[in-house]
Amino acid sequence: MITLPTVADTRAFGARIAAVLRPGDLVVLTGPLGAGKTAFAQGVGHGLAVAGEVTSPTFVIARVHHGELPLVHVDAYRLGSVGELEDLDLEYSLDESVTLVEWGHGLVGRLAESYLEITFARLDDDTRTARLEAHGAQWKERLAHADLGD
């Protein structure tokens, strides 16, 4: 469990995770509204040096942020089924980009055999926690050697 006392800490945590991301990686972000999923995604975008601001894709469902390693940022909150997620054709971009899916718990297992799930919780107005769950041996190995902070 990682404690993130401020929004800036949540963004910095995202940048630290970005340091271990590779093309084809899938990261699922879980947690209630206001728990830090988009702030984390902003940190990942900063860490990957993508162009432009990373904002919540709530109303457009998915945004592509270009950089040396593209970031596909998906908000599955409004999606009602795995079929609707599959309609986004994410598998066409999975191999060459990093894909972050907010609200993807239970929906993304078909997209990749291996993925990282990060569950955020909100303790108070600023403090969040993050719990990482590696799905696949490659994630367990990478996370064991990553500098993730406290």
Within a 10 A sphere around the Cβ of 119, how many other Cβ atoms? Answer: 17
CATH no. for residue 98? 3.40.50.300
Residue 30 vs residue 88, higher pLDDT: 30
**Could you tell me if residue 120 is inside a domain?**
yes
pLDDT computed for residue 96 by the predictor: 78
Computed from CA positions of residues 92, 94, 100, 102, in that sequence, does the dihedral angle turn out positive or negative?
Answer: positive
0.85 exceeded by pTM: no
* Domain membership of residue 20 as a residue range: 2-144
Whether residue 15 lies inside any domain: the answer is yes
Per the structure, how many domains does the chain have? 1
Considering the domain boundaries, does residue 150 fall inside one?
no
Mean pLDDT rounded to a whole number for the chain: 80
pLDDT of residue 84: 52
Residue 98 lies in a domain: yes
- Residue 149 placed within a domain: no
Q: Is residue 67 part of a domain?
A: yes
- Checking if the pLDDT of 113 tops 90, the result is no
Question: Around 94, how many Cα atoms within 13 Å sit in the side-chain half-sphere?
Answer: 17
